[in-house]
Structures are given as C-alpha cells and as structure tokens.
Amino acid sequence: MTEITRKDFLRLGVAGAAAALVSSRANAQAAVAATAKGAQRATLIRGADILSMDEKLGEVKGADVLVVNGKIAEIGKGLAAGDAEVIEAAGMILMPGMNDGHRHLWLGLHAGRLVKTDAKKYSRYQPWKMRTMVCMTPEDFHLSGYVGGLQAIDSGVTNLLDYAHAHHTQEKAIAGAQGFLDSGVGGVFCYQASHNTTYGPGDTLPEAEATAQRQGAPQESNYVTAGLLRQMFATGADAPAQFGITISEGTGRRKMEDMKTEFERARTFDPFIVGCHIHKPNPMPPAGVFRTVADLHAAGLLGPDFHVAHGVEMTDEELVMLRDTGGMMCATTMGEFPYVTASIHGKARQMGVPAGIGLDIGTGLTQDYFEHVRAGFWSLYRSDEYAKLANDYESADVLDFATRWGAKALRMGDASGSITVGKFADLVLLRTDRMGFASAGTLADRVVNFASLPDIDSVWVRGTARKRNGQMIGIDWASLKKKVTEAQQRIDKQADTITLT
C-alpha cells in the first residue's frame, strides 16, 4: 500500500493528499476482494478445544475448524486438510475474536500521560486533551490509528469502534482513518464531525473558549471531510472496516432542532453506525435542549444505525426505546468505574439491547482486553440491582459482551462474534500451558478468569493470520515504540506552550 507522508500532504495539499489516500485505499480493497475470491490459502486449525460462543454449538473438545476464503467453512473432528495450512492446536483453546465497542485510538499514543490511579491529574483530562490534539501532526494521527489497531489485534480484539473525536482538521482525520485501515483491524472508524479549533502551540486563551470550540456544532468543512472519509471505506456486510460518524458533544447544551439537523446531515453519508456520547446531564436543562435518549426518540432520530457510548443513567424506558428501534450501546466498564455507580451493559443485555464493552481511553488503561472483560463483570456489583443479574451469570455470559453480543452491538452479529459455520474467521487461539492458566473448569471459566494477553498464540482477522506463535506477523514493535515515545515527547513539549486561562 502506498503511504502518504506529511511531506506528501504539504506537496499535494489537503485535497490532493485526500485523493491519493482514497486511491491508495481503493487499490488495497481491490487486493482484499481478490483474496476473498480464492487467492487466500485455506487454514485448518486442528484439535483445539473450541469455545464457540455459538448458542447451539457450545464448547467442543478436541475439534477442527476449517477456514476457507476468510470464513468458517466447517467445524468437526477429523476434517480433511487438503492443501490447507494446518495449525496443530491440541491442548489450546480457540475462541472468537473479541469486540471493543468504544475506543479512542488516538489516545493510545499518549499511554501513561494521564492515569486514573492519579485522580487529581486525570481530572484535568479535557484541558490536557484540548492542548494535546492541536499539537499532533497528521503523521501522529496515522501512527496512533495504526499502532492502536495493531495493539487491539495483539490483545485478541478483531473488531473495534474507533470514536475519532480529536481529528480536528481534514488532514488529520484522513491520516487517522488511514492508520486505522493500515492496521488491518476490523470494525468501524467513527469520525466526529466537530472540534473546529483556532489555536495552537504558543497561544493563550480562556479555557471556556477552547471548550466551546470542542463542543461546537459541525461546520461545512467537517462535512466535506466526512465525504472524503466515506470514500476511503468499502460498503457492504463483507467489508472488514466500515465508515461511521459520531455526533458532536451536544448533550445538555445544544437545541434539539439543531441536533435533528445534525443527525439528518450525518445520515446522508450512509454511515454504518451513527455514534453518540450520552451522559445524563446534571443539572438537567430545560425541554428543547438535547438531554437524553428520550429526546432523540421523540424527535424520531433513533434507528438501527444508532450507537450509544456509555449511556450513563439511561432509564428502563430509554433502553426499551433503543431496543425497539434496533439501536445498540457500549459501556466502558473499567473507565467508568470511578464515576458511575454501575455500568449499564448488564441491564441493557437483560432488556434485549445489544450491548458491548470497550477500553475507551488508552492513556491510562491496560491494553490487555481480558482485564476489561473481567471489569465488565465485577463492575456490576456496584449496584444492588445489577448484582442480582451478575449472580445469575455463568462465565460464558461474562464473555458474551466481548464476543457474540458484543458483535451485535457493532451491527456485526451476523458476520462475527462466534465460531459458527458461515461467519468470518475472526479467531483467537490461546495457549494454556502457562502456570496460572487453570486446567479445570469449563472453557469459559478458564478464559474469563485466567487468560491474559501473553497467552494469545494466534489471531486471525477475517481469516488472515495477524499473530502467530505469540508474535504479531511483520511488526517491529521496537521501532514503533521508538516512534511513539518520540512523538509523545515532542507533543508534550508543544502542548506545554499552550496556556488555558
């Protein structure tokens, strides 16, 4: 794939560079299409213990999975290999690739800069964000999308929703999207059409002014960018990466008539998902201002493409509204733990709303996604009501938020989320020989309670091997770590020159 550097951007200009990126991506997608038509060698994973997350198949010991053209073609014992690549997996656990329904990939570039175990420092997240994002170059956004996608795959996440809420210029948005695509992770790149900042390194301005710019309504330039981004992504259920759009930060501030206009304009781009951060405002503003899911429902703005991020303090009635209009939601259980009584994913699932979990902010939360799976369970005990749900769970119910049900929460339930004939081969193969990885119990018991990132032997995204024998294929982590560290140091130095009064 042709890479577009900052030098190329400056030489071609934004429009020319965007066109080059779109052309580059079209060529890459043509190669993917060729692979899907038969160029990809079949794979036989032999003798694994299968944690299918398929309600009919359940758990199967010592079975084979045949992958052909990126999809699961057959599941059974003693399958013929033919000319397929054979992966000997006896004693290992094969499970579906996991799904992350809410992650800001750009923040992974700044891991360690803010951590939730230092609450006073983390309380200044928004001012830090407003200074940091304007100091990032297009290459920085590309690097964050690329490395962030790779880290997701490395941790067993094969599909994610990248809530791109800092990509405040056309140049940076296009570069961030290209990084997402270049990483090879599946899922949805969701561009937030806002953040029209006017300041940069060395400037001084009131914090309230910077906040107003961050929370402002989309401008026409944002929609031009959305149109260019839309061209970078394939359409159709077989596309591993989809284009989405997220609504500006209007909760508690924007008039509903303006929100209606924004939703309607967003949907002209035929997004796979329309995402929205929703936290119940406190104090509650008057009627006519965007406050809750109920306001969106009354305005006729919900639908099968609508995805709620967080959904803090949604009522039962609002969950019914979301369910009955085909919507989805994601709770970021580890990230929400310090400030939410209990994340709402368990209640949502009980009421039939496709609900997933997500990492959210990579500046201070672990990339080991099994930790987030466990956080999704333990967080339920912060509420007496939700604890009753957790008391009835089995381990497979806990994992469901990251696999079968989590895929539904990304509109991908028919294509991914379980080891099922006909679904895409989004797969994770776990070694079980580490001391501490339990040998007793169901497969779900063992994975949910004892698995960790170092146990991941192999990952396939749509049938393509991205990790084998515990190593990402073709990835030089040392070189990427150096680039990330250098970017962090440069960006921090520049961000420190911005004063918010």
Question: For the domain that residue 84 is a member of, what is the CATH number?
Answer: 2.30.40.10
> How many other β-carbons are positioned within 10 Å of the β-carbon of residue 200?
12
- Residue 478 makes CB contacts below 8 A (sequence gap 6+) with none
Question: For the domain that residue 309 is a member of, what is the CATH number?
Answer: 3.20.20.140
SS3 149: helix
Residues spanned by the domain of 90? 37-96+419-472
User: Are residue 91 and residue 102 in the same domain, yes or no?
Assistant: no
Section 328-343 average pLDDT: 93
C-alpha 172/C-alpha 139 separation (Å) is 8
User: Are residue 73 and residue 121 in the same domain, yes or no?
Assistant: no
Query: What are the Cα distances from residue 48, in Å, to 76, 80, 456?
Result: 10, 15, 14
User: Are residue 241 and residue 348 in the same domain, yes or no?
Assistant: yes
Tokens 């084979």 belong to which residue?
A: 64
| Domain presence at residue 466 | yes
User: Are residue 303 and residue 348 in the same domain, yes or no?
Assistant: yes
Residue 260, judged by CB atoms within 10 A of its CB (0-12, 13-18, 19+), counts as: middle
C-alpha 161/C-alpha 148 separation (Å) is 12
C-alpha 219/C-alpha 375 separation (Å) is 38
| Domain presence at residue 423 | yes
| Domain presence at residue 235 | yes
pLDDT surpassing 60 at residue 1:
no
- Residue 208 makes CB contacts below 8 A (sequence gap 6+) with none
Classify the phi-psi angles of 441: left when phi > 0, otherwise alpha if psi is within -120 to 50, otherwise beta.
left
Q: What is the pLDDT of residue 172?
A: 97
Q: What is the pLDDT of residue 23?
A: 47
* pTM of full prediction above 0.75: yes
pLDDT tens digits for 370-416?
Answer: 999 999 999 999 999 999 999 999 999 999 999 999 999 999 999 99
Quick check: 299 and 259 in contact, CB under 8 A? Answer: yes
User: Are residue 439 and residue 378 in the same domain, yes or no?
Assistant: no
Tokens 């923040």 belong to which residue?
A: 107
User: Are residue 211 and residue 145 in the same domain, yes or no?
Assistant: yes
DSSP element (H, E) containing 430: strand 427-430
User: Are residue 177 and residue 210 in the same domain, yes or no?
Assistant: yes
| Domain presence at residue 275 | yes
C-alpha 359/C-alpha 372 separation (Å) is 7
Omega prior to 283 cis, within 30 of 0 = yes
Quick check: 99 and 159 in contact, CB under 8 A? Answer: yes
| Domain presence at residue 10 | no
pLDDT surpassing 90 at residue 5:
no
User: Are residue 91 and residue 104 in the same domain, yes or no?
Assistant: no
| Domain presence at residue 3 | no
Last residue of a domain, one of 408, 441, 460: 408
Quick check: 422 and 415 in contact, CB under 8 A? Answer: no
C-alpha 107/C-alpha 206 separation (Å) is 24
pLDDT tens digits for 67-103?
Answer: 999 999 999 999 999 999 999 999 999 999 999 999 9
Please name which of 50, 51, 75 lies closest in space to residue 395, comparing C-alpha atoms: 51
- Residue 246 makes CB contacts below 8 A (sequence gap 6+) with 163, 164, 165, 190, 191, 192, 193, 274, 275, 276, 277
Quickly list H helices, 35-123. Answer: 119-122
DSSP element (H, E) containing 22: helix 6-34
pLDDT tens digits for 355-368?
Answer: 999 999 999 999 99
pLDDT tens digits for 423-468?
Answer: 999 999 999 999 999 999 999 999 999 999 999 999 999 999 999 9
C-alpha 329/C-alpha 339 separation (Å) is 18
C-alpha 176/C-alpha 190 separation (Å) is 11
Strands (DSSP E) found in 152-273: 157-164, 186-192, 204-205, 241-246
Sheet strands side by side (includes 328-331): 355-357, 328-331, 306-312, 274-279, 241-246, 186-192, 157-164, 98-104, 360-361
User: Are residue 80 and residue 50 in the same domain, yes or no?
Assistant: yes
| Domain presence at residue 496 | no
Q: What is the pLDDT of residue 39?
A: 52
User: Are residue 92 and residue 103 in the same domain, yes or no?
Assistant: no
491: pLDDT confidence band, cut at 50, 70 and 90? very high
Tokens 């934004």 belong to which residue?
A: 14
Give the chain's domain count. 2
SS (H, E, C) 346-370: HHHHHCCCCEEECCEECCCCCCCHH
pLDDT surpassing 70 at residue 15:
no
18: pLDDT confidence band, cut at 50, 70 and 90? low
User: Are residue 121 and residue 86 in the same domain, yes or no?
Assistant: no
- Residues shown for the chain: 501
| Domain presence at residue 270 | yes
C-alpha 499/C-alpha 501 separation (Å) is 6
User: Are residue 311 and residue 394 in the same domain, yes or no?
Assistant: yes
C-alpha 426/C-alpha 436 separation (Å) is 26
